[in-house]
Structure 1
Amino acid sequence: MKINQYNPTPLKAYSENRVKDAAAKTQPQSQSSAASRDVVNVSSQARLIGTARQTATESPDVREQKVKDLREQVRSGTYKPDIRKTAMNLVRDEVDFLR
């Protein structure tokens, strides 16, 4: 047996089989890709958040006048916040956060 001798016949048979296998693999993929589609499922919570965000962006700014009034009170020095109410709201928010 000669090691340096090159015999193309076995390699040719192998490469022909590889071409046939590649052709066989591409046909089912083209048929199955038409049948399969990507599907996205959105949870009810995500839908609710999306609806809330859309409603918030579409609604007009109804507190604009209140902000202007408060800004004027702060500038003139007449703004007197209710410290107890502010503290109660902060505590309520923290309790709600811990639940």
Structure 2
Amino acid sequence: MKINQFNNTPLKTYSESRVTNTTDKAQSQSSTSAPTSDVVNVSSQAKLLGTARQTAANSPDTREQKVNELRDQVRAGTYKPDIRKTAMNLVRDEVDFLR
């Protein structure tokens, strides 16, 4: 048995018919197709999301200033968090979670 003997006829037939089919399709589409337009429908939820993203992108970032102030306080060693307020917020969050 020789491994290097191939029969190329089936491959040629396939490739030739493939070219012929695509040519026929192109010709039939060009002669029978009418100009069409694309239509995009966007849901109200997608519109709302887009508006929210645009508003967030255009709004000034006031939290960045707060973060920078807190970072400077931590680095300087002057940051003194209100432990009672933190504890109350943690308890409130747990109670809300259990509801």
Q: Calculate the TM-score normalised by the size of structure 2.
A: 0.52
Question: Could you say which residue in structure 2 is the equivalent of 1:84?
Answer: 88
Gaps of 5+ in 1: 1-21
Question: Could you say which residue in structure 2 is the equivalent of 1:38?
Answer: 38
What does 1:45-56 align with in structure 2 at a 5 Å threshold?
45-56=45-56
Gaps of 5+ in 2: 1-23
How far 1:88 moved relative to its partner?
2.4
How far 1:78 moved relative to its partner?
1.8
> What is the alpha-carbon root mean square deviation over aligned residues?
2.9
| Residue correspondences, number | 70
Q: Calculate the TM-score normalised by the size of structure 1.
A: 0.52
Q: Which has the larger radius of gyration?
A: 1
Q: 1:91 to 1:67 in 2, by over 3 A?
A: farther
State the AA in 1 paired with 2:89: K
2:93 pairs with 1:59: no
State the AA in 2 paired with 1:84: M
Question: Could you say which residue in structure 2 is the equivalent of 1:69?
Answer: 69
How far 1:25 moved relative to its partner?
5.7
